[in-house]
Structure 1
Amino acid sequence: MGQWGWAAEKTKPDDGLGVSALAQVALSLLLVIAAIAGLAWLVKKMQHFQPMSQSSMRVVASLALGPRDRVLLVQVGEQQVLLGASPGRINMLHVFAEPVIEADTATTTGADFSNTLAKLLKQKSS
């Protein structure tokens, strides 16, 4: 090697990121994203399960009025309360003296609740 011999030697640059390392990072990232998505799905499903306690308050029926507004019939102890719920606000609409719908046999379909609510409003206005 001559005077510039050290510069003439070809060395392979070591970039540290081979194909296998890149594939391993991508696979790890996919596994983390899949785990986050799976946990989010599980948490969403677990919110639908209510504890099996004897709570003195429960939703007997509900009716969607729009994409964000609902009317709820809530059983509190022995009374039923009609609530209007919208994002960030809940208003008490009416407190019924006697139960409108039996909490044990209540159906949560909107059609039954809307028919019952319409009948009650007609009785109230007459």
Structure 2
Amino acid sequence: MKTQTTVQQQPAVNSSSPLVQVSGALTVIILFILLAAWLAKRFGLTGRTGAAKGLKISAGCSLGPRERVVVVDVEDARLVLGVTATQITHLHTLPPAPASVDPKPVEPVDFQSLMKNLLKRNGKA
């Protein structure tokens, strides 16, 4: 008589294993972070780098599809620059912008007087 032995083959990776579940969750999280970083970079949500700290574009005007005139504020002057797809040309130097004067600080108004003014304006009081 011949005896048959059956051999059960177990799958190479058990999908209910905690190791598989954790690594799958980590893969999804890493892919989500990469996608969020790409979207932030694509739509300009990232902060400016420290290289352009002293520069600020205060005005600009488009002259064509790839030509612009911009006014750049630097530490002690304002530069008028012509910008194209291939070069940047210095057109003029302006004196520094006057320091902006802060308007008078507005005194806080209490809620009661604010409501009275609103009701008077609407003709209800």
Could you say which TM-score interval applies, normalised by the shorter chain? Answer: 0.3 to 0.5
Q: TM-score, structure 1 length as denominator?
A: 0.47
The structure showing larger relative contact order (alpha-carbon pairs under 8 Å, at least 6 residues apart) is 1
* Higher helix proportion (structure 1 or 2): 1
Q: TM-score, structure 2 length as denominator?
A: 0.48
